[in-house]
């Protein structure tokens, strides 16, 4: 997620004027206004240009000049991995908890939170889970419980200044599953509270479909393809993707 999705919506801006029909370009400007903070168009054009160039885009950023600023200083890119099998096991439990703190003005990663989590209900990972995620049994054995990991997330959020009311940040996920289904469902099962900062997020699939006019059925892979971006990282690996 760290580089490819960090560039995806910028690439959307960059290619919009040339590739989008007028109605979709207008909608894309509205969608991107949700993702970029005040002043985003100032001071990082060269950085973004280099990122886009590395993914096959030209250096011109002229198409960005007309897009409105928006309110977030930081994007917290999150992608859980959880216990799984075919047929699906219940309840699923989070086994990888990664967060990338992305500066909304520079599009650079400023900090990373990453921990593996010990599953409790189904402590033994299935072969399907290991093949899908690349997470082996030794990675989760003896790791902190979800409760302990959530406590460390809160400590990390405080250390990074993300709990300061004047700092506006929001989680970004590829779909609603992570924060609408997985985390609250497991917290309810374990009797744990869900912090308020986990209750709002940007679903990149929705932003993409609003801007592009089509739903990315295969998630990040479809979004990268639609934006002519090369996928970076291992699919279904939280920190790797």
Do the Cβ atoms of 16 and 25 come closer than 8 Å? yes
Choose, from 55, 73, 81, 241, the residue flagged as catalytic: 81
Do the Cβ atoms of 94 and 146 come closer than 8 Å? yes
Our answer to whether residue 236 is catalytic in this structure is yes
Q: How far apart are CA 63 and CA 60, in angstroms?
A: 8
Q: CB-side exposure of 152: number of CA atoms within 13 Å?
A: 16
Q: How far apart are CA 45 and CA 106, in angstroms?
A: 9
Our answer to whether residue 151 is catalytic in this structure is no
Q: Are strands 81-82 and 74-78 parallel, antiparallel or unpaired?
A: unpaired
Reported as type and span, the H/E element at residue 150 is helix 146-159
Enumerate the active-site residues.
81, 236
């Amino acid at each position: 997620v760290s580089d490819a999705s960090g560039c995806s919506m910028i690439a959307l801006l960059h290619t919009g004027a040339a590739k989008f029909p007028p109605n979709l370009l207008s909608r894309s400007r509205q969608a991107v206004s949700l993702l970029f903070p005040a002043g985003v168009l100032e001071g990082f054009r060269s950085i973004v240009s280099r990122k886009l160039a590395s993914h096959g885009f030209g250096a011109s950023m002229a198409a960005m000049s007309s897009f409105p600023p928006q309110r977030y200083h930081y994007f917290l890119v999150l992608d859980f991995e959880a216990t799984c099998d075919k047929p699906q096991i219940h309840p699923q439990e989070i086994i990888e908890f990664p967060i990338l703190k992305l500066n909304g003005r520079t599009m650079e990663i400023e900090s990373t939170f990453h921990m593996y989590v010990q599953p409790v209900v189904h402590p033994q990972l299935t072969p399907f889970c290991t093949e899908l995620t690349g997470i082996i049994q030794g990675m989760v054995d003896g790791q902190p419980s979800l409760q302990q990991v959530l406590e460390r997330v809160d400590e990390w959020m405080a250390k990074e200044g993300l709990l300061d009311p004047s700092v506006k940040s929001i989680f970004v996920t590829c779909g609603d599953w992570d924060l609408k289904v997985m985390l609250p469902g497991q917290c309810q099962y374990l009797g744990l509270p869900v912090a308020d900062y986990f209750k709002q997020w940007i679903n990149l699939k929705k932003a993409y479909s609003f801007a592009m006019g089509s739903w990315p059925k295969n998630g990040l892979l479809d979004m990268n393809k639609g934006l002519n971006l090369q996928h970076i990282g291992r699919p279904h690996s939280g920190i790797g993707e």
